[in-house]
Amino acid sequence: MNQTDLLSSSQRLMHLALAGLGADDLQADVVVLHAGVAVEHALKAFLCSVSPSLVVDGRDFPSLLHGAGRGELAKKPLPMIKTIGAMEAFMRVSKILDGHEFDVSEHEFRLIADARNGVAHIGIRDTAQVEDLLSTGLRIVDAVLKSLGEDAAAYWGDFSVVHEKILDVKRQADLIRIEALKTRALRRLVERFGTNDTEERRAAIASAQSHTVVAGQAKALRPCPACLNQGWVGGDLDTDYSGDEGQVIIVTQYFLCSVCGFSLHGDLLRYFNDLYEDIPLGPAATFVYADGSLHEDVWLEISAEVAAEFMADEEEEELRGRR
């Protein structure tokens, strides 16, 4: 149970899955099953690179012994140990890697896990979903290979062109979807504010763009790709230590324009650098505990305005929950 063996297994199964493309629809279950297990093994390879204990079921003591590298103390052979499922493996990896390194949502991955389980347990598969599932699986494997510093070309081998074609199809589908969202948003803009450039229209637009319900712990203004007015990106707070000192950042996850209604979330943000990139808010105040661990007070150096907005949002959510 190690990174190398799991990556080799992932590669073999992924090649079987890609080789099954183009066959008749009856082959779809083979593609889904092999691809699903290949992605799971890639995720577990990453976890093993951190510690093999991260892939075992913590409720089973012999499995924990194997994960800790003390399998000789277990009364259960390695092939019989209990490990975490694909969904848990995905959740653990997504908590370790930065959101921009691993930009697949839980919903996207759950489709892969459910499709794989449908084939494995009751022989059900949806032929129409195969290419979408593969494109998500390929993105996950690519993220794992990059994080591990592995040679992606060696992993994909003879299927490198197929890999690129699948991702190209996904990109084209995303761009078509974005253009459709832009068209709907511009129609909504005309319906709300008309087309005449009057002082009243400008005032109404300014008022609209000052308000937002974008989700996340923090938010910032950014130009809307559809109507070019100011919209809002939102996301969660984190600390970036890649520079000389820690910076509090917004890891962007959503975009919403309050003027035209254009909205993006998840992997669609990747097509807009100014919406997708982390937003620095200021230096992080830190101090060291007596045991040497580092405390990050992300609020100390954030402007009072940002903190007040966050607290107001929290209070509003609490009030909604009481109603």
pTM (whole model) above 0.75:
no
Q: Give me the pLDDT at residue 292, please.
A: 64
d(CA 42, CA 34): 12
Q: What is the mean pLDDT of each run of 10 residues along the chain (323 residues)?
A: 91 93 70 91 94 81 74 70 86 84 83 80 56 88 95 95 92 93 96 92 92 84 94 86 77 91 87 88 69 61 55 62 56
Q: Which of 169, 172, 170, 157 is nearest to 18 (CA)?
A: 157
Q: Give me the pLDDT at residue 104, please.
A: 84
DSSP assignment of 101-156: TS---HHHHHHHHHHHHHHHHH----GGGHHHHHHHHHHHHHHHHHHHT--HHHHH
In contact, 263 and 254? CB cutoff 8 Å:
yes
Q: Give me the pLDDT at residue 123, please.
A: 52
Give rounded-to-5 percent helix, strand, coil for the chain: 60, 15, 25
Q: Give me the pLDDT at residue 158, please.
A: 94
Q: Give me the pLDDT at residue 120, please.
A: 63
Q: Give me the pLDDT at residue 221, please.
A: 92
Q: Give me the pLDDT at residue 313, please.
A: 61
Q: Give me the pLDDT at residue 241, please.
A: 74
Q: Give me the pLDDT at residue 290, please.
A: 65
